[in-house]
Structure 1
Amino acid sequence: MGQATVNVTPPNVQAEKVSGPWRDAWKAFRKNKTAMLGLCIILFFVLIALLAPFIAPYGYKEQELVNRLKPPSAAHWFGTDDLGRDLFTRILYGARISLWVGFFSVIGSIVVGTFLGVLAGFYGKWIDMLISRMFDILLAFPSILLAIAIVAILGPSLQNALYAIAIVNIPTYGRLVRAKVLSLKSEEYITAARAIGMKNSRILLTHILPNSLTPIIVQGTLGIATAIIEAAALGFLGLGAQPPDPEWGKMLSDSRQFIQKAPWTVIFPGLSIMLTVLGFNLMGDGLRDVLDPRMKN
């Protein structure tokens, strides 16, 4: 007779679920209520930006001078501006501009700053001194004043405002990456990689950059909020988006003379900026709590 196979695995032992650092981070992030609130706010504005052509009841350039400065109503949910344009429609399209500037200016800052920070931290010597002094020079100027100077040289436009915001934020990411690379260089696994003859380029791509992502992600999320504020400031000064583009900062600038007569023309663009920045700040704080080992118990 054949012998029956005996299952030696205890019945109360279950197979371990597949886990990893990013999966664990997402689980911890979901437990942070304020971070999830921030994520929901961001997703809301991203959604209305994507669906603006389908949601907007009017064209953002459409003028009805007979309906100038009308208060919120069933026909115009957020009221109208001094040219009779529907504010609700312009807020929807303004989300596209603000998020576009925020995301792409931060991406540009991260790419250039990470490249320079890796060079400075990994190779050191005169390269480190040259790049670090360049960062110091950029950081010596207040960011908004430097952005104003760059846009004044390039010319007022939304694209030039994006370039200016990206340039002034490069040192933030560059110094952050440089500090991280300097700490990673002394790790034993980097020494072992060099001992077995691994090339510097491979060490950078397989060991240094992957282990430098955490602070970049956190700072990048917070940096989008800063970029949106800077874009609004440039727009308010007339150096960002130009008419008739519905940029929130420009909308505030155009409406400041109607604050007492038509306060809704200022309230709704201001609330949009505040809520968007709040969302990125809340999510950024949540990511820092989850990804930064110093914040864990």
Structure 2
Amino acid sequence: MQSLLMQPSGSVGLTITVLVVLTAILAPWIAPWPPLETHYTEALMGPNAKYWLGTDEVGRDVLSRIIYGTQPSLAVALTAVLSGGTIGILLGIAAGYYRGWFDALVMRICDIAFAFPLILIGICTVIILGPSIVSVGIAVGIGVMPSFARLARAEVLEEMERDFVKASRGMGGTDVYIVARHIIPNIAATLVVQLAGAVSGAVVIASALDFLGIGTQPPMPSWGNMLQASRLYLNQNPSYALAPGVALTIFVIGINILAAALTNALDPRIRTEILKGRRK
């Protein structure tokens, strides 16, 4: 953590991420208006003292809907990446450790998945399951699974050639012991960085599905469906369209900056250089 915070990018990325998470958690207390409350006589108002970012086409407060929109966006991204990433990592570890037919099967499935754009996989999954926030989470989880499986497999194959792993196997160590004691601790840093980076992609995909109308369903707000609804009212209230786009952009940039800083913080050589720089 020290080497992460010593990097300016790490502090910025962590601050943005924490603020977004706190916004999602504290939305009921910090939003100035209920997100579904309508004021038809005040529709499409520009920013003012009463509505800081103006109102939408039915008079709902844009700022409040942006704040509440962090909840589905963040929930889908985190649950999809954690669930899909965990399954992908477990499959990758098993494939790299046991190899043989199971390895070939997992890698061929990954190759097939990589042949299709992630957004297309998401659309097909949501069409099959029906439009809902749960469907979006499952779709994004399925989409990120192959990349984690391939990365975990590559890391395991490298660790399997280490002398201490070979020695542990020669001494009769069980598969579970070797994986838990020697392999996972040595590949965890790489996987954590991948998990952090995948969150930004998951938010973008989830927002894209919402924009297409097959994700979070109105009137519940999300950044994606707000972008979709506001595109017709750019002239009447530009902040209605700009606000969700800016929120999405800031969060994605923050996550990507944090992931890059984590890469440096978890790399022993770079971490040492960072700590040495502080002592000087």
| Partner deviation per Cα, 1:154-186 (whole Å, 9 max, x = no partner) | 111111011000001101111000000000001
What letter corresponds to residue 244 of structure 1 in structure 2?
P
| Number of corresponding residues | 272
Tell me what 2:16 maps to: 41
The equivalences for 1:25-40 within 5 A come to 26-40=1-15
Partner of 1:249: 224
The equivalent position to 2:61 in structure 1, one of 86, 90, 96, is: 86
Q: Secondary structure at the match of 1:198?
A: coil
Structure 1 runs of 4+ with >4 Å offset: 293-297
1:194-233 to structure 2, matched below 5 A, reads 194-233=169-208
Mapped pair 1:259 → 2:234: yes
1:190 aligns with 2:127: no
Q: Distance in 1 between matches of 2:122 and 2:74?
A: 18
The corresponding residue for 1:58 is: 33
The aligned counterpart of 2:278 is none
* Pairing partner for 1:124 from 90, 99, 113: 99
Alignment correspondent of 1:141:
116
**1:261 deviation in Å?**
2.3
For each residue in 1:251-289, what CA deviation from the matched residue of structure 2 results, as whole angstroms up to 9, or x when unmatched?
000010111222111111111100110110000010112
Provide the identity percentage. 38
Which residues of structure 2 form unaligned runs of 5+?
274-280
AA at the equivalent of 1:274: T
Q: Which has the higher helix share?
A: 2
TM-score normalised by the chain length of structure 1: 0.89
Residue 254 of structure 2 is aligned to residue 275 of structure 1: no
User: Aligned residue for 1:284?
Assistant: 259
Aligned-partner residue type, residue 90 of structure 2: F
C-alpha separation in 2, matches of 1:278 and 1:206: 35
- Whole-Å separation in 1 of the counterparts to 2:224 and 2:108: 33
Aligned to 1:163: 138
Q: Distance in 2 between matches of 1:294 and 1:258?
A: 52
Q: 1-side partners of 2:18 and 2:270: how far apart?
A: 26
Match of 1:19 in 2: none
Partner of 2:276: none
Counterpart CA distance in 1 for 2:85 and 2:183 is 15
- Which of 92, 95, 115 is the equivalent residue of 2:70? 95
Distance 1:109 1:141, change over 3 A: same
Which of the pair has more CA radius of gyration? 1
Match of 2:47 in 1: 72
Relative contact order, higher structure (CA 8 A, sep 6+): 2
Q: Which runs of 5+ in 1 are unaligned?
A: 1-25
- After superposition, the CA RMSD in angstroms is 1.2
TM normalised by structure 2 equals: 0.95
